[in-house]
Amino acid sequence: MTADRVNPEPPERAAVAALADDFLTSLRDWITIPSISTDPAHHGDVARSAHWLADALRADGWPEVAVWDHGPALPAVYACWPAEDPAAPTVLVYGHHDVQPVDPPEAWEHPPFAGVVVGEELFGRGSSDDKGQVAMQLLGVRAHLAATGAPAPAVTLKFFVEGEEESGSPHLADLLDRHTADLACDLVVFTDTPLYARDAPTVNTGQRGVLGAEVTFTGGTSDVHSGRVGGGVPNPATALARLVAALHDDDGRVRLPGFYADVVEPTAAERADHAALPFDEADWLAANAGGAQAVAGEKGWSTLERVWVRPTAEVNGISGGYTGPGLKTVVPREASVKLSFRLVPDQEPAAIAESLREFVAAHTPHGVTAAVVLRGEGTPPYAIDVDHPAAVAVRDAVEGAFEQPVRYSRTGGSGPAAVLHATLGVPVVYLGATLPDDRIHAPNERVVLPLLLRGAEAAARLWRSLPERLS
Amino acid sequence: MTADRVNPEPPERAAVAALADDFLTSLRDWITIPSISTDPAHHGDVARSAHWLADALRADGWPEVAVWDHGPALPAVYACWPAEDPAAPTVLVYGHHDVQPVDPPEAWEHPPFAGVVVGEELFGRGSSDDKGQVAMQLLGVRAHLAATGAPAPAVTLKFFVEGEEESGSPHLADLLDRHTADLACDLVVFTDTPLYARDAPTVNTGQRGVLGAEVTFTGGTSDVHSGRVGGGVPNPATALARLVAALHDDDGRVRLPGFYADVVEPTAAERADHAALPFDEADWLAANAGGAQAVAGEKGWSTLERVWVRPTAEVNGISGGYTGPGLKTVVPREASVKLSFRLVPDQEPAAIAESLREFVAAHTPHGVTAAVVLRGEGTPPYAIDVDHPAAVAVRDAVEGAFEQPVRYSRTGGSGPAAVLHATLGVPVVYLGATLPDDRIHAPNERVVLPLLLRGAEAAARLWRSLPERLS
Ligand SMILES: [Zn+2]
Ligand SMILES: [Zn+2]
């Protein structure tokens, strides 16, 4: 809130406005590609999406563009645009071009892969998570160049847009290892997180990690008649329910052994920032929670803390036995539960996985066989020091573009920030302009277009300011 | 074990043998009709099955045959063949011609509706439960008439074969009310239970009742991202697991309030009969329990007692959230469980239903909405006094036909015996010749054909003996 008071129309803003129509046309086209990475039937679409993005970068004038399509990872896109000044810092922008499944498809008001615009909103799977934000970053670079009039950006820019984020980025570490030189940088700008709210823009400082697992309890080799043997043999579905029930104590704390041992609580300053954000329980539920009727969770923590800085165990899906129409009185032969654990610094997915295996073994009754299948290695949690100059630079750029005060927030969702941090050895900051109520991972995903334009302006401002901030 | 020692080839046995080929051809034909009453898509087949049976009865010479097809009940078949002696007792034979679903169809070694014969076994849905036993009863009447040479049976015989047993006989009471005069009798012979074992034939003396219910817990109106709100809102699948886990205490006792209040324990004599039956845990598991690896259940009771004379609560199916391939990190909007409660005398389904509603209400967390849907009114339990002359007559007839000592047993499964008893005001005895390991309600259902022939002989002997036994 400094220079803009005397210059209400900074060149970045004008440049974004001039490119806005082109931006929207392009993003709508990208959304038509159903790049669902969790569904093998759509892996061809993930490849199409990568090539679409590479073509878009080339059209924007990026001098080096590549699709990394050498398996086992689904195709990722890499681009580099060197700064004129060889001493300028190098920034790697991270995003992803794969999207979540759409089921149930009948719950969508607009087709998920049509890019329908209604007023300020663009609907479609990936409109917010994360094609919209990656497109915003492309626009930010174009606006930066237009605003400065220079032939190259003020920092060396690299884009790395992966195709497996929604599958838990199982090959990210491999990709980073293969391409160490390409991806070398001084800072990662992670572009897959939302603002806190439209009227309370924030800069994100961390994400929870996640570990996914499926636990299957097997009794026999076939379903059996619940009249004939019911009461006389173990019921795997009942056993599984008892396992799931044991995951939490009555205070909502997760009962895996050692689950909280490595948890680092946020500083008093960061907690104060979180506590100062506007929060109305009913509004939060309506905007975020898919019609949930009440908050709930770990005793002793606020709702924002529960979803930002506290670890969790959630059932994502459960199934077993007869689930068709009518009644079928069987003792199921097996039952399965898909679980995900959200993790916070400094919990480690591998340690939590080991703890889960122990916990399952301890809760498997005699006569039942347990199988624990991990969904990849998990994604570690990450948080940046809120006083880091890059974090402050992002906050200032967002404040300038949004013309509002900005606080720090966190994100309950997960992303590979910690892997990028650990592998590349550099800090990670977050720049995002979507909203928590964009219905990502759910039917009717949308993005608010004017926010993406503000976000592109913030990015353009950031590229201009970073050489001085990081010097 | 009396008359047969001096007459090893009683006329009933010869009559059955002469009719055996015809019996098998007919039963195989009936099995080709997929009369699945729980699936509305097969209700036309239930009607076809009823007409098939009516035609078969007419072909056997029954003077009065009717298909009761006046809704809302699925078609039932009624037939009457009066005794020559108007003073002879009237016996109503009960069975059912509807069958269970076949899923998963790929688990069947032989097509479920083809009537494939391999050696002594006939495979197919309904081969054992209950078309095989109803066909056995038709054969028993033919053999009785052939053995006595009389133009009419020694007792007035009525057949009542319903089409909704596998759906819990929801309209049985209606049917009994509409047809009070037709169904009036002195005794019901219930023909839908197995022998204890091939080398230990038994006469059944009771069946557990059953109450089916589906409980659905709803949180929001859509699935939500488990990263964004996970830990901050109730998870209906977790809540449902906690409800299911609470259904049993650590001793395997059901925790519905008042669940055991009306339970009548079996007499010492009956318990002694049960304890005297050959029982090998590994054999029992292999033969009965679909590959289950161990017995389990209520503390303080044997396995046979757990499945015959003790009530239970079982999960038949559970589902909620994302159950497709891969990972989808959602907090499900709802989760459901299909439950069945097996009941013993004198538990009443309506009282258990009320107790379930109370229990669910007490275990529904804040922010979750519960719905309890009952699957019909349930089937009450029933047991006959083991000293009743009709029970003794059946035991003697079975002993004669099987040429082996016979004890009393019970059945863990459920049937409408209690409704027949209560509505018709007469005792119910059981005559069945199938086996507990026939895989009823599961893939690869089969029946052992020589046992059905023995059962038909036992029925033929029973009809001859009953006038004297009941006088
Ligand atoms: Zn994302
Ligand atoms: Zn049956």
> How far, in Å, from the CA of B130 to the mean position of ligand 2?
5
| Candidate from B103, B220, B318 with C-beta closest to A290 | B220
Residue A104: cis peptide before it, omega within 30 degrees of 0: yes
Q: Which ligand is nearest to the CA of B94?
A: 2
Instruction: Residue B99: list chain A partners with CB under 8 A.
Output: none
Is the Cβ–Cβ distance between B326 and B221 less than 8 Å? no
CB-based contact, B340 to chain A, within 8 Å: yes
Q: Return the amino acid letter for B440.
A: I
Instruction: Residue B311: list chain A partners with CB under 8 A.
Output: 231
Structure tokens at A454: 């503000």
Residue A200 has what DSSP assignment?
B
CB contact under 8 A, B229 and A289: yes
Give per-residue burial for A119-142: e unless 16+ CB within 10 Å, then b. eebbbbbbbbbbbbbbbbbbbbbb
| Candidate from B315, B322, B330 with C-beta closest to A321 | B315
Nearest alpha-carbon partner for B336 in B402, B408, B237: B237
Each residue of B81-96: pLDDT tens digit?
999 999 999 999 999 9
Nearest alpha-carbon partner for A32 in A45, A41, A47, A19: A45
pLDDT given for residue A138 in this prediction: 98
**Chain B: closest CA distance from residue A238 (Å):** 6
Q: Could you say which residues of chain B have pLDDT below 50?
A: 1-4
Residues in a beta bridge with B439: none
CB-based contact, B250 to chain A, within 8 Å: no
Cα separations in angstroms, B289 against A114, A232, A307, B456: 51, 9, 44, 28
Cα angle for residues A187, A421, A453 (degrees, 5° grid): 50
Q: Residue A329 — left, alpha, or beta (φ > 0 → left; ψ -120 to 50 → alpha)? A: beta
- Residue in the block written with tokens 């097997």: A218
Nearest alpha-carbon partner for A220 in B443, B125, B105, B211: B443
| Candidate from A219, A306, A368 with C-beta closest to B232 | A306
pLDDT in tens, chain A (471 residues): 444 455 568 999 999 999 999 999 999 999 999 999 999 999 999 999 999 999 999 999 999 999 999 889 999 999 999 999 999 999 999 999 999 999 889 999 999 999 999 999 999 999 999 999 999 999 999 999 999 999 999 999 999 999 999 987 889 989 999 999 999 999 999 999 999 999 999 999 999 999 999 999 999 888 887 887 889 999 999 999 999 999 999 999 999 999 999 999 998 889 999 999 999 999 888 877 878 889 999 999 999 999 999 999 999 999 999 999 888 889 999 999 999 999 999 999 999 999 999 999 999 999 999 999 998 888 899 999 888 999 999 999 999 999 999 999 998 888 889 889 999 999 999 999 999 889 898 899 999 999 999 999 999 999 999 999 998
Question: Which secondary structure element, helix H or strand E, spans residue B169, and what is its range?
Answer: none
**Chain B: closest CA distance from residue A98 (Å):** 14
Each residue of B233-263: pLDDT tens digit?
999 999 999 999 999 999 999 999 999 999 9
| Candidate from A221, A228, A366 with C-beta closest to B412 | A228
* B3-207+382-469 and B209-263+311-374, same CATH topology: no
For chain A, which residues make up each domain, given as ranges?
Answer: 3-207+382-469, 209-263+311-374
* CB contact set of A247 (below 8 Å; sequence gap of 6+): A254, A255, A256, A313, A339, A359, B238
CB contact under 8 A, A332 and B323: no
What's chain A's Rg over C-alpha atoms?
Answer: 23
> How far, in Å, from the CA of A92 to the mean position of ligand 1?
17
* CB contact set of B266 (below 8 Å; sequence gap of 6+): B274, B309, B383, B410
3-state secondary structure (DSSP) of residue B337: strand
CB-based contact, B107 to chain A, within 8 Å: yes
CATH 3.30.2350.10 is held by the domain A209-263+311-374: no
pLDDT given for residue B6 in this prediction: 52
CB-based contact, A158 to chain B, within 8 Å: no
Work out the angle between the directed axes of helices A131-148 and A449-469 (0-180°, nearest 10): 50
Cα separations in angstroms, A383 against A306, A342, B339: 16, 14, 45
> Which B-chain residues 27-46 have CB contacts (< 8 A) with chain A?
38-40
* The A121-123 sheet, strands edge to edge: A117-118, A121-123, A446-448
Q: Which ligand is nearest to the CA of B163?
A: 2
| Candidate from A229, A307, A318 with C-beta closest to B318 | A318
Is the Cβ–Cβ distance between A355 and A362 less than 8 Å? no
Phi, psi of A242 (to 5 degrees): -65, -35
CA A434 to chain centre: 11
The CATH code belonging to domain A3-207+382-469 is 3.40.630.10
Structure tokens at B8: 């090893």
pTM: 0.80
Is the Cβ–Cβ distance between A317 and A323 less than 8 Å? no
CA B115 to chain centre: 21
> How far, in Å, from the CA of A169 to the mean position of ligand 1?
11
Q: Return the amino acid letter for B319.
A: S
pLDDT given for residue B2 in this prediction: 47
pLDDT given for residue B8 in this prediction: 62
Cα angle for residues A344, A346, A352 (degrees, 5° grid): 75
Q: Return the amino acid letter for B183.
A: L
**Number of CB atoms found within 10 A of residue A361's CB:** 10
Is the Cβ–Cβ distance between B443 and A322 less than 8 Å? no
Q: Which residues surround ligand 2, an ion (CB under 5 A)?
A: B 129-130, 192
CB-based contact, A419 to chain B, within 8 Å: no
Residues recorded for chain B:
471
- Residue in the block written with tokens 């173990």: A234
Structure tokens at B140: 């028993």
pLDDT given for residue A1 in this prediction: 43
CB contact under 8 A, A222 and B335: no
Q: Residue A260 — left, alpha, or beta (φ > 0 → left; ψ -120 to 50 → alpha)? A: alpha
Instruction: Residue B321: list chain A partners with CB under 8 A.
Output: 315-318, 338
**Chain B: closest CA distance from residue A464 (Å):** 32
